[in-house]
């Protein structure tokens, strides 16, 4: 592979039995996997199209090239095609890590989770793209397919740095041009900014299928602090000095309530939601998001 690899070997092995799948029926209502007569890398020949950078060489019709001196790719009918987008929150709070796993931040987890999604999409012959949302606005890698496109996305992930706040809504307008109706979009974020949640809900209301993954630290889950502590908001600089032991019960109760409210809000808006804590296996939240719903299992 030409680009960096963010997926640990044990996780990569466990991805073999996981499948990206959307639940919105294209052209219909509700959820449910179904066959689609869309073009892709499938079994039954459908048509030729001009070669595009990122296409796999094995899809090129070399006999046709010998006759025409031009590259054409064979497209086929396939089931349940997807265009999958990964949207990464790269604001300052995503740079936070904790003592449970030193040197590993929310953004590191987001990179690895995004790489897992790209790998699954590549394996299925689906198209995939990347959107990075941070203090410097929006950076896009348009949807494409094939190993070269996967490597392009991984190289973009390698250069990510957390910083700044969530950008103004008008700076995210290109998302609406790229993420089409029926596309699947996965938002990787700590969801501490209301604007991130609002984006997921608006995309869902516009008939994009949206999945939400909240990335949390183990310290947020457990609040293991003792003695006097100074807590600082990395985005606005505000600080709170408190006795950790006396604050622990109230914090855990408030944090659990906030997580429950977030899950309810997203569910009401048709957004599938899961959470990931930095000390958990990377594939665990993906299994929760992409596990078949009741009635979908064979």
CATH number at residue 152: 3.40.50.410
Can you tell me the mean pLDDT for 258-272? 97
pLDDT of residue 27: 38
CA-CA-CA-CA dihedral for 270, 276, 280, 286, to nearest 10? 30
The per-residue pLDDT for range 139-157, each reduced to its tens digit, is 999 999 999 999 999 999 9
Can you tell me the mean pLDDT for 159-183? 92
Q: Are residues 205 and 68 in the same domain?
A: no
Find the angle CA(94)-CA(99)-CA(104) to the nearest 5 degrees: 45
Q: Is the pLDDT of residue 262 over 80?
A: yes
pLDDT of residue 77: 47
Q: Are residues 239 and 117 in the same domain?
A: yes
Q: Is the pLDDT of residue 40 over 70?
A: no
Residue 151 tokens read as 């490597």
Q: What is the mean pLDDT of the chain?
A: 84
pLDDT of residue 17: 87
Structural domain contains residue 297: no
Q: 237 falls in which pLDDT band (50, 70, 90)? A: low
CA gap 98, 218 in Å, rounded: 7
Q: 68 falls in which pLDDT band (50, 70, 90)? A: confident
Q: Are residues 147 and 283 in the same domain?
A: yes
Structural domain contains residue 215: yes
Number of domains present in the structure of the chain: 2
Residue-range definition of the domain harbouring residue 72: 38-78
Structural domain contains residue 241: yes
pLDDT of residue 187: 98
DSSP bridge partners of 209: 184
pTM above 0.85, yes or no: no
Q: What is the DSSP string of the chain?
A: --S---S-HHHHHHGGG------BPTTSSSB-----BEEES-SEEEEEEE--TT--GGGB-HHHHHHHSS-EEEEEEESS--EEEEEEE-SGGGG-B-TTSTT-BHHHHHHHHHHHHHHHHHHHT-EEEEEEEETTEEEEEEEE-SHHHHHHHHHHHHT----S-PPPGGGGHHHHHHS-TT-EEEEEE---SHHHHHHHHHHHHTT-EEEEEEEE-HHHHH----SEEEEE-TTT--EEEEEHHHHHHHHHHHHHHHHHHHHHHHHHTT-EEEEEETTS-THHHHHHHHSPPTTT--
pLDDT of residue 188: 98
CA gap 33, 22 in Å, rounded: 7
Q: Which of 15-24, 27-36, 132-141, 227-236 has the highest mean predicted lDDT (pLDDT)?
A: 132-141
Q: Are residues 72 and 96 in the same domain?
A: no
Q: Is the pLDDT of residue 55 over 90?
A: no
Q: Are residues 94 and 60 in the same domain?
A: no
Q: Are residues 109 and 190 in the same domain?
A: yes
Structural domain contains residue 32: no
pLDDT of residue 221: 93
Q: 75 falls in which pLDDT band (50, 70, 90)? A: low
What is the distance, to the nearest Å, from the Cα of residue 30 to the centroid of all Cα atoms in its chain? 22
Using alpha carbons, select from 237, 284, 275 the residue that is nearest to residue 255.
275
The per-residue pLDDT for range 277-294, each reduced to its tens digit, is 999 999 999 999 987 554
Q: Is the pLDDT of residue 133 over 50?
A: yes
Structural domain contains residue 298: no
Can you tell me the mean pLDDT for 244-272? 93
The per-residue pLDDT for range 195-221, each reduced to its tens digit, is 999 999 999 999 999 999 999 999 999
């Amino acid at each position: 592979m030409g680009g960096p690899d963010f997926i640990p070997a044990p996780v990569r092995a466990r991805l073999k039995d996981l499948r990206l799948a959307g639940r919105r029926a294209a052209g219909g209502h509700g959820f449910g996997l179904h066959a689609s007569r869309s073009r892709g890398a499938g079994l039954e020949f459908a048509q030729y199209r001009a070669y595009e950078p990122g296409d796999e060489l094995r899809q090129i019709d070399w006999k046709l090239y010998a006759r025409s001196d031009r590259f054409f790719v064979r497209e086929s009918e396939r089931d349940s095609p997807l265009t999958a987008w990964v949207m990464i929150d790269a604001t300052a709070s995503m740079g936070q890590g904790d003592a449970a796993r030193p040197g590993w931040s929310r953004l590191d987890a987001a990179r690895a989770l995004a790489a897992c999604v790209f790998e699954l999409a590549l394996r299925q012959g689906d198209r995939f793209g990347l959107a990075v949302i941070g203090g410097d606005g929006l950076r896009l890698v348009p949807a494409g397919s094939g190993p070269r496109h996967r490597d392009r996305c991984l190289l973009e992930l390698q250069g990510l740095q957390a910083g700044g706040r969530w950008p103004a809504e008008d700076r995210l307008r290109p998302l609406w041009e790229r993420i089409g109706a029926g596309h699947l979009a996965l938002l990787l974020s700590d969801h501490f900014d209301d604007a991130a949640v609002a984006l997921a809900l608006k995309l869902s209301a516009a008939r994009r299928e949206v999945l939400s993954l909240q990335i949390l630290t183990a310290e947020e889950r457990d609040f293991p602090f003792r003695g006097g502590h100074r807590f600082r908001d990395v985005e606005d600089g505000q600080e709170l000095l408190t006795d950790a032991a006396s604050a622990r019960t109230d914090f855990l109760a408030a944090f659990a309530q906030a997580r429950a409210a977030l899950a309810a809000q997203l569910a009401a808006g048709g957004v599938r939601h899961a959470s990931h804590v930095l000390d958990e296996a990377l594939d665990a939240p993906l299994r929760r998001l992409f596990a078949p719903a009741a009635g979908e299992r064979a």
